[in-house]
């Protein structure tokens, strides 16, 4: 029996399926997916050009541009984060293409002002490059397809994909066992301008967050650890240097995880921080503990520690008096942020040594060091990681001694008691001495906010080179 199909072809009825009163020729007018036939023009399916096959539409299916035979057209596909890139094409509007290579084949260039690949005519006419400082400085905080979030937890599932991060960041360090690196680490890099390409952020596990105290993004790393983490961090630092800028409104914070969650261990870490507070303060500009003197918001983000002689005192102070004593539960959300979505409401997180995440929250148990001035200098960043790790390591391994409060500590003693090789100890101590001297000079000339260091942020101290030589 012959029938006329929806395409007006006359074919054998046995080669067709019937839907209501219309006939669809198999593998011509309709395709079979997951045991069900679909019309090829159905909105429930699309043709994947990369795979050369039909697929069902999912939440991950998007429209993107492609260029074939010199003609730009829109097709549908499922694109992996880290592969597709955002574009603005004259005459077509905003969208994505399947890869950075595809964008370059279409003669597009990355525009730091809008965070997308664009027609380069604008830059050519003005003798600019897309990543020039002018482009960075005039750019807005923008990622077209990614909503701005305040908390890294809201983006962690999208960015913390180990297989993808490992693919694009091969391990280039071999120091974990030699240095005794046991803590996980994560950085928050505040910026004043620039947009790192979104695909690069996916590839390196660097999350762009909103922070009301700065004009640019706060780029927060996924949790990192060991040699692999050091390698990923290097990639992240390179991106920050290439695409972003910093100013006096910015800071760099580090979170260390894996520290014991116990009353005695936390008390030991706190007392160690109290012991070292004055010396650490000399490594940064005069106003580091009084940022209201130079921050636009007129707020202190890095205050000196409070007087506390017990874990009960710490808990009471950090909860703003809500809890009078510590009940032994480290998993309660903070009373000022019961939904874990408004961290800025927690007044007592704005201390240079922040225990909020350790004392509260049921996830992300980290100790935060908030005191470091903004930097994209790899030597400084790795040095601060090693210094803060050494501080916590000593506090963890010498709890009875620290709790006895019979001695004072300094950074030199802590570094020399670490597991670090002698040469590394020497580099770190020389770096600490340099910071102290540089800050004295800034103080002498009246630079109390550290602008001099921001302007001259590229000095090398040999640390990264040494670490990669081990």
Q: What is the pLDDT of residues 274-291, one digit of tens each?
A: 999 999 999 999 999 999
Helices and strands (H, E) in the chain, number of each type: 17, 20
Residues 221 and 257: beta-carbon distance below 8 Å? no
pLDDT at position 345 is 67
Tell me what the mean pLDDT of segment 204-231 comes to.
Answer: 95
Residue keyed to tokens 């080179």: 465
End-to-end distance of the chain based on CA atoms, in angstroms? 78
Q: How far is CA 153 from CA 150, 384, 411, in A?
A: 9, 24, 33
pLDDT, tens digit, 9 for 90 and up, residues 236-279: 999 999 999 999 999 999 999 999 999 999 999 999 999 999 99
Q: How far is CA 263 from the centre of its chain?
A: 30
User: CA-CA distance, 470 to 447, in Å (whole number)?
Assistant: 38
pLDDT, tens digit, 9 for 90 and up, residues 397-430: 999 999 999 999 999 999 999 999 999 999 999 9
Mean pLDDT of all residues belonging to the chain: 92
pLDDT at position 281 is 98
Pick the closest to residue 367 from 377, 386, 346, 353 (CA basis).
Answer: 353
DSSP calls for 400-452: HHHHHT-S---HHHHHHTSSS-HHHHHHHHHHHHHHHHHHHHHHHTT--S-HH
Structure tokens at 335: 């009373």
pLDDT band at 338 (very low <50, low <70, confident <90, very high): low
pLDDT band at 59 (very low <50, low <70, confident <90, very high): confident
pLDDT at position 442 is 98
Q: For 142, phi and psi rounded to 5 degrees?
A: -155, 130
Tell me what the mean pLDDT of segment 91-106 comes to.
Answer: 89
pLDDT at position 342 is 61
Structure tokens at 427: 């580099």
pLDDT, tens digit, 9 for 90 and up, residues 439-461: 999 999 999 999 999 999 999 99
Number of neighbours of residue 200 by Cβ within 10 angstroms: 20
pLDDT at position 340 is 61
pLDDT, tens digit, 9 for 90 and up, residues 106-124: 889 898 888 899 988 777 7
Bridge partners (DSSP) of residue 76 are 63
If DSSP codes are grouped into helix, strand and coil, which group holds residue 24?
strand
If DSSP codes are grouped into helix, strand and coil, which group holds residue 54?
strand
User: CA-CA distance, 461 to 106, in Å (whole number)?
Assistant: 42
Residue 133 has pLDDT above 80, yes or no: no
pLDDT at position 187 is 98
Q: For 269, phi and psi rounded to 5 degrees?
A: -65, -40
pTM here is 0.89
User: CA-CA distance, 161 to 60, in Å (whole number)?
Assistant: 16
User: CA-CA distance, 429 to 423, in Å (whole number)?
Assistant: 10
Sign of CA dihedral 31, 36, 37, 40: negative
Q: How far is CA 120 from CA 93, 101, 107, 131, 207, in A?
A: 15, 16, 8, 12, 27
């Amino acid at each position: 029996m012959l029938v006329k199909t929806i395409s007006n072809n006359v074919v054998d009825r046995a080669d067709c399926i019937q839907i209501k009163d219309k006939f669809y020729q198999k593998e011509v007018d309709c395709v079979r997916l997951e045991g069900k036939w679909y019309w090829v023009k159905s909105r429930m399916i699309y043709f994947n050009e990369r795979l050369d096959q039909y697929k069902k539409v999912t939440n991950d299916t998007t429209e993107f541009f492609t260029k074939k035979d010199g003609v730009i057209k829109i097709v549908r596909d499922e694109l992996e984060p880290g592969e597709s890139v955002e574009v603005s094409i004259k005459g077509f509007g905003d969208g994505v293409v399947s890869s950075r290579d595809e964008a370059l084949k279409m003669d597009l260039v990355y525009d730091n002002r809008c965070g997308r690949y664009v027609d380069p005519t604008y830059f050519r006419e003005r003798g600019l490059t897309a990543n020039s400082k002018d482009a960075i400085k005039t750019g807005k905080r923008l990622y077209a397809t990614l909503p701005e979030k305040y908390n890294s937890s809201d983006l962690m599932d999208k960015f913390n994909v180990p297989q993808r991060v490992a693919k694009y960041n091969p391990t280039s360090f071999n120091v974990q066992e030699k240095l005794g690196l046991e803590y996980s680490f994560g950085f928050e890099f505040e910026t004043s301008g620039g947009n790192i390409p979104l695909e690069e952020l996916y590839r390196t596990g660097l999350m762009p967050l909103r922070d009301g105290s700065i004009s640019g993004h706060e780029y927060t790393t996924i949790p990192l650890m060991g040699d692999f983490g050091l390698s990923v961090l290097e990639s992240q630092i390179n991106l920050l240097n290439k695409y972003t800028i910093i100013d006096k409104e910015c800071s760099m914070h580090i979170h260390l995880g894996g520290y014991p969650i116990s009353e005695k261990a936390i008390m030991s870490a706190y007392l160690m921080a109290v012991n070292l507070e004055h010396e650490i303060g000399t490594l940064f500009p005069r106003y580091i503990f009084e940022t209201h003197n130079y921050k636009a918001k007129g707020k202190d983000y890095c205050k000196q520690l409070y007087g506390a002689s017990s874990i009960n005192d710490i808990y009471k102070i950090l909860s703003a008096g809500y809890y009078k004593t510590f009940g032994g539960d480290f998993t309660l959300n903070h009373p000022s942020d019961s939904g874990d979505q408004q961290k800025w409401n927690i007044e007592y997180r704005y201390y240079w040594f922040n225990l909020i995440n350790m004392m509260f929250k049921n996830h992300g148990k980290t100790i935060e060091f908030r005191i470091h001035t903004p930097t994209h200098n790899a030597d400084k960043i790795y040095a601060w990681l090693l210094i803060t790790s050494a501080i916590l390591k000593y506090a963890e391994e010498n709890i009875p001694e620290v709790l006895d409060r019979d001695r004072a500590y300094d950074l030199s003693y802590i570094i020399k008691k670490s597991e670090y090789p002698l040469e590394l100890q020497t580099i770190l101590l020389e770096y600490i001495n340099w910071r102290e001297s540089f800050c004295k000079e800034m103080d002498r000339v009246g630079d109390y906010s550290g602008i001099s260091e921001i302007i001259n942020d590229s000095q090398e101290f040999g640390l990264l080179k040494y670490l990669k030589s081990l």
